[in-house]
Structure 1
Amino acid sequence: MKSELTIYFFLLITLLFSCKEEPNKIEPKIKKPNIIVLISINAPAKYTHLIKQDSIGKTLKDSLGPKAFYIKNGFTYLDYMNNEQTWLPKPNVRDTIVIECYSEYLEFTTNNFFTSIHDTFLVKNGDTVVFNYNYNIPKAEITNRKVNNEELNYNSYRHKKLFSNKYTSHHLIFANLFIDNDIKNYEQNSIDYFNKAKNDFIRETQLLDSLLKSKSITETNYNYRKDALNMLMEKHKKLKNIKKWLEQNKSLRDKETIEQLFGFDLAKTDSLMKFSFFRDYLNNISKYDLEFIEENNGNSGGFYIDSRIRFDSILKDRRFNQVAKNYLLFNAYDGIGQNFRIKDKEKYFKKLQENTTNREQLDKLQKDYKLDFSKSDKLILTDLKNDTITFSNVLKNNKGKWLYVDFWASWCKPCRETMPESNKLKKELKNENIEFIYLALNDRKENWQKAIKTDSLSNSHNYFIENGNVSKVVEDLGIKTIPHYLIYNPNGELINGFANRPGEGAKEQLRKLLTEK
């Protein structure tokens, strides 16, 4: 009996210890994959498209005529911090990126010359997606699961099925000016294409219904594509001439044909933010029908709304939660940064700091655009040796000489096209008391340095502007577009703030000043 009790006691002790240690032996649960892998194979180096090439793959006899181009055409997505990111695949090689994903689906968008809607790819968490290119248009393939082509590459499918790979009616609403070359009838043509787009909307809705019925696409993708299509039609109705036409003809339509407004449930903002069509929707409803401001800067100009009013209105708008406000306030500030004065940039950057919870994007904005307002009264430059100097000191160092100052950038096509004439002008005036100063505005240093070598500017006075976005000096000089040229006399005084371009009167202008000294 004693022996049996001893054995029983031993077994009990063993069982107790084994039970105590068992939790440490439990294998942790395998979490759902939280990455998406994108692979690009031989992305094009350039995305150039001839406007008159109205069909994918059409062969032209020459390359004359107006061109449309994307300098870089990557894949845009919303990261886990709700920041828009764009991946630019390296050209002509196999390139890969791994993206963290914490939602079931993630959308990737890229530009398409033939439509007014982005090519979009809706992929699942854990997917590996391979992109190949045909006529500069990416086609996706998922390697880890089977997905119908109609679903994954829906944009290319609908483009071929409904529009025979030609310009869509949606695109022609605003692009007919360039394609039809009929400036006089542009507005009426836009209305005609809008009416065609309404019929194409019905055709595409029927196409989506048939794809869902045949189970060629999932219900998730069906709803996603329908929402994107509805949003596209809403964008058309916001165009100034279309909106005016709809209002004028409203009384002539019966109840069955009255234009229906499309909208989203803003209570679902957090889950919808990853979709570009929803972000477009937020942008549209947050512009509050503000009138356009027209700006004319001689050979260039533009139209824009007052983003300061928009910014303040977004702050007060109770429809938007903090996620929406984070996105929209940065969007509105971008408009302020592009079109308004330094005092407005500074004022609204402080407001942005106070009203956003997205510190990562705030830091990135400040870093990318060098938003240091403490030195706004100076124009800070660096030379090719990376030594720092101010523009006022450049003027002092060259006192006693005439100065011809060229504001340019490596990305500015007319700036670069003028450089041969500028070099020619320097040679012709090399024996005169004049210096040529080149200031790179809103550029990237590596591109600036390459352009200096390419354009034979290495022996000139080259400077990179470090604080162009916040410098009151640039603002006070009236430099809104580039190229822009200034002439200073030997006393360091600005005598011409809008000098002629090289090859377009600069030589005569400078010769006259030099002979009058």
Structure 2
Amino acid sequence: MKQLIFLSALFIFFGCSPTNTSKEAGKEPTNQIVLIFNKPVQNGSYRNQIGSQNGDEIQFLDDHMIEQRLHLNIGAESDTVIVESKRDLVEIRLMYKGVDELKYLFQNGDSIVFNYSDIKPIAKVINRQEDYTVTNFSLVERDSIALDEYTALDIAKMPILLHYRAKDMNRDDYSSFMKKIDQMTLKNIPLEIEREYTILEALKAEQKISNDQFLYRLQNIYFQLLELQASPLNKKGVENPKFMSLKAFSQDLENRFPDIRTKRGDSLLYNSAYASFFHYSTSIEFSSKVSQYEYKTETAGGRITNYPQAYDSVQVSSQLTAIEKKKLQFAYIEKLFQDAGYFPIEKRWEYLNKFKNDYQDSAMVDFLVKKFNIKFKIDDDLELVDKAGKVTSLEALITSHKGKVLYIDYWASWCGPCINEMPSSKQLQKGLANDNIVYIYLSSDRTDRPWQKTMERLELNEGLHFRIDNAGYTTKMEELNIPSIPRYMIYDTKGKLVNNNAPRPSQSKVLKAELMKYIETSK
């Protein structure tokens, strides 16, 4: 499989000058980077106690400032990805262990071969000389610098990385465990940073690392520290030992390397560490200025930002550049469609059109339409697509199974609680294999690939499986009152909805009694 990614903006990554790179003098850039993966190994859905299942092996920001996520042909002898870009330097990120990522900085015109040692992707630039440690610095950080399974900065940002160690702990033990993680990371951060300084400065002294690579690696440390300090828990006027330590670490970095305090500019948004810091800090700021939408489900509740209000708040800001506004507003439109169930269809359309009119950026709009399978009409029924691509509707499906009791499972590949119920669902079908019960699974995945891949992985071979192709564009979801998933429903033998909030498969005893009740009443 060869993937061609066409990128077409004029921004220069980090504002770097070509004189800082090791390109051959006078050689014209090819406007592409070739990535060759020999026997690629799956890392985007690496399975451990907390493993993610997103399946995206490669991530990068294209020249339109759109986050691109690509799959690899896992199991193939070789897979090639061609990234086309006009930028001098492009950051490529590879998923690692499902919850981590390795960062690489490549030059325009580079060809890179990745070979795997177990699950570790080891990169080698084949068109020019570059030291192993420079190319694979992220891997070196994890293998030789980190004092734990992940770097201390990553653990500080995402303590969930180590949550699997707290499995089966009671509340008090868990609280104590989390405090120890906090203490451990604060102790390890300066130790690991010092190790990074030592390696980077040695590479520079030996002239093995370019100024661009040197600054890039330092910026990754610096902006991670700034993002941790941007936490809403870091309140002004309140002395918090944790945040005071983090501030001291970043100030030490500024004192050692004054160039690290790069003047804020749009081109910095191509640095993922800076972009993450920028989005996190500004989202906290703008979320505090708008209302929050509160919601409750069967098992939980919470609040989400009023994304339309946040979009409008960004629009009138005088503190942001035009590109920064565009990036933030694009992110809010993504969130609006991602959390579509909480916002009316008309509101989503309104703000997509507003973004289109504000920026006239067809690439970003087309990306959103494709990513979220956006439709510009409202249906009365659910449009269902089976594994073979055959289309039907919920009403037709129910009608075709009159005389049977239907147990319908509304789920999606990205829904953790839904996935957790699947083993119980399979056991339910085995334990209650009654000819008068039909088990139906309706996924709200927007595209076929994640849906079908998840069914394969979970070996969901029994029951009837469909994907809802118009989940966000039908009044039926509101009529059925499905604010969130998983959701389970029961239809009786006459095709009547008799329970729109049925027990989960893991509640097997009560669920079996419920299903048998409707079978008995039909006799």
Q: Cα 1:352–1:251, aligned 2, differ >3 Å: closer, same or farther?
A: closer
Distance in structure 2 (CA, Å) of the matches to 1:246 and 1:185: 27
2:38 equivalent in structure 1: 41
Give the 5 Å matches for 1:230-269: 230-239=222-231, 241=233, 243=234, 247-249=238-240, 257=248, 265-266=263-264, 268-269=265-266
C-alpha offsets along residues 416-475 of structure 1, whole Å, 9 cap, x if unaligned? 4244335336632x2x4x544432321543665684995344xx5543311113334224
Give the 5 Å matches for 1:41-120: 41-45=38-42, 66-92=49-75, 93-113=77-97, 118-120=101-103
Distance in structure 2 (CA, Å) of the matches to 1:385 and 1:172: 43
| 1:313 is aligned to 2:297 | no
Q: Cα 1:387–1:110, aligned 2, differ >3 Å: closer, same or farther?
A: closer
Residue identity in the other structure for 2:460: D
C-alpha offsets along residues 311-364 of structure 1, whole Å, 9 cap, x if unaligned? 222222334334333332222222222332234433432332232332122113
Q: Pick from 157, 170, 174: which aligns with 1:183?
A: 174
Distance in structure 2 (CA, Å) of the matches to 1:198 and 1:143: 34
CA drift of 1:223 comes to 1.1
Distance in structure 2 (CA, Å) of the matches to 1:425 and 1:198: 52
> Unaligned 5+ residue runs, structure 2?
1-25, 168-172, 255-259
Q: Pick from 511, 516, 520: which aligns with 1:511?
A: 516
CA drift of 1:124 comes to 0.8
Q: Cα 1:303–1:178, aligned 2, differ >3 Å: closer, same or farther?
A: farther
| C-alpha contact (below 8 Å) 2:51/2:99 kept by paired residues | no
What secondary structure sits across from 2:240 in the alignment? helix
C-alpha offsets along residues 176-225 of structure 1, whole Å, 9 cap, x if unaligned? 44336651125533542452254233553454334323323221111111
Q: Cα 1:120–1:408, aligned 2, differ >3 Å: closer, same or farther?
A: same
Q: Cα 1:163–1:425, aligned 2, differ >3 Å: closer, same or farther?
A: closer
What secondary structure sits across from 1:130 in the alignment? strand
- More deviation, 146-155/393-402: 393-402
Give the 5 Å matches for 1:79-478: 79-92=62-75, 93-113=77-97, 118-163=101-146, 166-173=149-156, 174=159, 175-179=161-165, 182-186=173-177, 188-200=179-191, 201-239=193-231, 241=233, 243=234, 247-249=238-240, 257=248, 265-266=263-264, 268-269=265-266, 271-289=267-285, 290=287, 297-299=297-299, 304-339=304-339, 340-343=342-345, 344-383=347-386, 386-395=389-398, 402-409=405-412, 413-414=419-420, 416-424=422-430, 427-428=433-434, 430=435, 432=436, 435-442=438-445, 444-445=447-448, 451=455, 455-457=460-462, 461-478=464-481
CA drift of 1:32 comes to 2.9
CA drift of 1:397 comes to 5.2
Residue identity in the other structure for 1:100: E
Distance in structure 2 (CA, Å) of the matches to 1:46 and 1:288: 31
Distance in structure 1 (CA, Å) of the matches to 2:237 and 2:383: 51
| C-alpha contact (below 8 Å) 2:293/2:304 kept by paired residues | yes
- More deviation, 175-184/98-107: 175-184
CA drift of 1:395 comes to 4.2
Distance in structure 1 (CA, Å) of the matches to 2:477 and 2:317: 35
| C-alpha contact (below 8 Å) 1:325/1:356 kept by paired residues | no
Residue identity in the other structure for 1:238: A
Q: Cα 1:206–1:71, aligned 2, differ >3 Å: closer, same or farther?
A: same
Distance in structure 1 (CA, Å) of the matches to 2:47 and 2:428: 30
CA drift of 1:399 comes to 5.7
- More deviation, 501-510/198-207: 198-207
Distance in structure 1 (CA, Å) of the matches to 2:360 and 2:442: 37
Q: Cα 1:141–1:232, aligned 2, differ >3 Å: closer, same or farther?
A: same
CA drift of 1:103 comes to 1.6
Residue identity in the other structure for 1:342: P
Q: Cα 1:500–1:107, aligned 2, differ >3 Å: closer, same or farther?
A: same
Equivalences, count:
465
C-alpha offsets along residues 37-57 of structure 1, whole Å, 9 cap, x if unaligned? 110111114566676xxxxxx
| C-alpha contact (below 8 Å) 2:421/2:504 kept by paired residues | no
Q: Cα 1:363–1:251, aligned 2, differ >3 Å: closer, same or farther?
A: closer
Distance in structure 2 (CA, Å) of the matches to 1:128 and 1:258: 36
What secondary structure sits across from 1:439 in the alignment? strand
Aligned-residue Cα RMSD (Å) equals 3.8
Distance in structure 1 (CA, Å) of the matches to 2:56 and 2:91: 16
CA drift of 1:164 comes to 5.4
CA drift of 1:141 comes to 0.5
Distance in structure 2 (CA, Å) of the matches to 1:180 and 1:449: 32
Residue identity in the other structure for 1:108: I
Q: Cα 1:209–1:309, aligned 2, differ >3 Å: closer, same or farther?
A: farther
Query: Which structure is larger by alpha-carbon Rg, 1 or 2?
Result: 1
Distance in structure 2 (CA, Å) of the matches to 1:153 and 1:187: 31
Distance in structure 2 (CA, Å) of the matches to 1:250 and 1:448: 46
Q: Cα 1:202–1:508, aligned 2, differ >3 Å: closer, same or farther?
A: same
Residue identity in the other structure for 1:513: Y
Distance in structure 1 (CA, Å) of the matches to 2:67 and 2:209: 27
Q: Cα 1:423–1:212, aligned 2, differ >3 Å: closer, same or farther?
A: same
| C-alpha contact (below 8 Å) 2:186/2:242 kept by paired residues | no
CA drift of 1:128 comes to 0.5
CA drift of 1:134 comes to 2.2
CA drift of 1:227 comes to 1.2
